[in-house]
Amino acid sequence: MKNIILRLAAITLTLIILCSLCSCGKSAKAQLPTPTEKFFVNDFAQVLTEADANTIYTSGAALHEATTAQAVVVTVESLDGKQAADYALEIGREWGVGAEDKDNGVVILLSESDREIYISVGYGLEGALPDSKTGRIIDTYGISYFSNNNFSAGLLGIYNAIVNEVYIEYGMQPSENYVPMNVISQSEEQVSAEKVAISWLVLIIIVVIYVTAFGRRGGLFLFGAPRFFGGNHFHGGGFGGSSGSFGSFRGGGGSFGGGGAGRKF
Amino acid sequence: MKKGLIAIIAVVALVAIIAISLTGSYNGFVDKEEAVKTAQSTISVQLQRRADLIPNFVASVKGYSDYEQSTLTAVTEARSKVAAAQGAAEQAQASAQLDSAIDIWVNAVTEAYPELKANEQYKALQDELAGTENRIAVARKDYNDAAQVYNKSVRRFPGSIVAGIFGFEQVEYFEADESANQVPTVDFS
């Protein structure tokens, strides 16, 4: 009897050691910051003024409530040698920015020491924010501030433009004084139509995989369910006890495919 | 008699267990292989998208008298090679050539006509091109991730036996050289 207990103990110990070794390998791979409680504002480099951070948070929460879309600002001191586009994409995927069934997330990443900004756009918003328009938004609202080291004002302007473009996409009224971005490009319409076609194609492929993988009943249920329940990702509004009036937010599971634009300044 | 019955039950149970685990294992391979195929088709879609952008790009600099004709010829040649490429390996090679041809041409044009940097349409297309390059890079990485999951399951014991029976073979990884994988940086400052 004693022997058995000893053996069991030894096996358990070995398993624990093995498991911890495995998780060590995993955690070493992903070195991304974790989102703050405010989710829409993650000012790790501390470049935002308090007023601007609050404005961004409030309009981000309002946008999320109205459309389920999520736009997050992330500022870091350094990209740690990564490409800005990759870093922004990883944040979008890892944090699950945007709703899972709509992939309507946007990550605005600014690195202070690299003097670089990249806006990564989720699959579902690639029609509303094609790369050219995203680049134009940075040029119009950000670059002049960034070159004067006024990161806060630039990020606020960019955030405001993106929020309004998303409102327009969802058929809602943008802010009164917002002038919609018009990208002068003959190819624009064609390209966005193509993008819509691509996202449909991807969607169809995913559906087919789902249905074949889970069988008819399971597949359809799994796919249909988030449509009804996936929209709202509030977390304990009023019971967490935090000072924010909206409670805390987290990612909805949106996915990204590498769309977006960036600038060095 | 009793012994015989027990033996039969044991055999039936064994066969059932083997059949169930085989089915599960087989379906696992199918799922993973499908994921690889999906990733592969995403790459093709994005490669096509980039190829389609090039004529627009050329049109945006038409107004400039001689837009680096010699380097542009390399682009059009590389582009037709991508269209004619057969199979994943050939497609990858051709698109890597197109990558560098586009890079060389865009740099040549931008250097020769600095005023283009202020051209809105040129900028817009530059962004679209960079974004597409990035999508291709992401799609390739996703493909490799899916291929790794699939290849691991094909090679690992005991799954390797099932894979051998049903003819699931390892897929090739997409190996790009660093220059082909890099997103061209767009600097308008």
Q: Could you tell me where the DSSP H helices lie in chain A?
A: 2-29, 50-67, 84-95, 131-141, 143-147, 151-169, 187-229
Average pLDDT value over all residues in chain A: 77
Q: Which domains does chain B have, with CATH numbers?
A: 2-177 (1.20.1440.20)
Spell out which residues of chain A touch residue B30, defining contact as CB-CB under 8 Å: 212
Give the ipTM: 0.70
Scanning every residue of chain B, which has its alpha carbon at the shortest distance from the alpha carbon of A139?
B188
**Interface subset of A 148-207, CB within 8 angstroms of B:** 183-188, 190-191, 194, 198, 201-202, 205-206
Q: Is residue A22 situated within a structural domain? A: no
**Within an 8 Å CB–CB cutoff, is residue A92 touching chain B?**
no
For the beta carbon of residue A56, count every other beta carbon within 10 angstroms. 26
pLDDT of amino acid B173: 83
Closest CA to B130 of B69, B75, B49, B63: B49
Mean pLDDT of A27-50: 85
**Within an 8 Å CB–CB cutoff, is residue B49 touching chain A?**
yes
Spell out which residues of chain B touch residue A188, defining contact as CB-CB under 8 Å: 124
Name the pLDDT band for A157 (thresholds 50, 70, 90): very high
Q: Is residue A41 situated within a structural domain? A: yes
Query: Are the C-beta atoms of A139 and B123 separated by less than 8 Å?
Result: yes
Which of B45, B121, B124 is closest, CB to CB, to A198?
Answer: B45
> How many CB pairs below 8 A link A and B?
105
Split into its structural domains, chain A has a count of 1
Which of B30, B42, B189 is closest, CB to CB, to A265?
Answer: B189
How many angstroms separate the CA of residue A242 from the nearest CA in chain B? 38
pLDDT of amino acid A186: 41
Spell out which residues of chain A touch residue B124, defining contact as CB-CB under 8 Å: 132-133, 135-136, 183-185, 187-188
Q: Which residues contact A208 (CB under 8 A, 6 or more apart)?
A: none
Q: Is residue A142 situated within a structural domain? A: yes
Q: What is the pLDDT along chain B (189 residues), one digit of tens a residue?
A: 688 899 999 999 999 998 888 888 889 999 999 999 888 888 888 888 877 777 777 776 766 656 667 777 888 888 888 778 777 677 778 888 887 888 787 777 778 788 777 778 788 888 888 888 888 888 888 998 999 999 998 888 888 888 888 888 888 887 755 444 444 444 443
CA distances from B54 to B43, B58, B76, B124, B188 (A): 17, 6, 9, 13, 20
Spell out which residues of chain A touch residue B35, defining contact as CB-CB under 8 Å: 209
CB spacing of B124 vs A259 below 8 angstroms: no
Q: Is residue A199 situated within a structural domain? A: no
DSSP symbols for B120-146: HHHHHHHHHHHHHHHHHHHHHHHHHHH
CB spacing of B31 vs A191 below 8 angstroms: no
CB spacing of B134 vs A188 below 8 angstroms: no
CA dihedral of A181, A186, A192, A198, whole degrees rounded to 10: -160
Where in the sequence is the domain holding A257, given as residue range(s)? Answer: 30-180+245-264
Q: Is residue A44 situated within a structural domain? A: yes
CB spacing of B125 vs A187 below 8 angstroms: yes
pLDDT of amino acid B24: 87
pLDDT of amino acid A221: 39
Spell out which residues of chain A touch residue B183, defining contact as CB-CB under 8 Å: 83, 85
Predicted model pTM: 0.69
Q: Which amino acid is at A95?
A: W
**Within an 8 Å CB–CB cutoff, is residue B35 touching chain A?**
yes
Does position A143 have pLDDT exceeding 70, yes or no? yes
Spell out which residues of chain B touch residue A190, defining contact as CB-CB under 8 Å: 56
Find the CATH number of the domain harbouring A147.
3.10.310.50
**Within an 8 Å CB–CB cutoff, is residue B31 touching chain A?**
yes
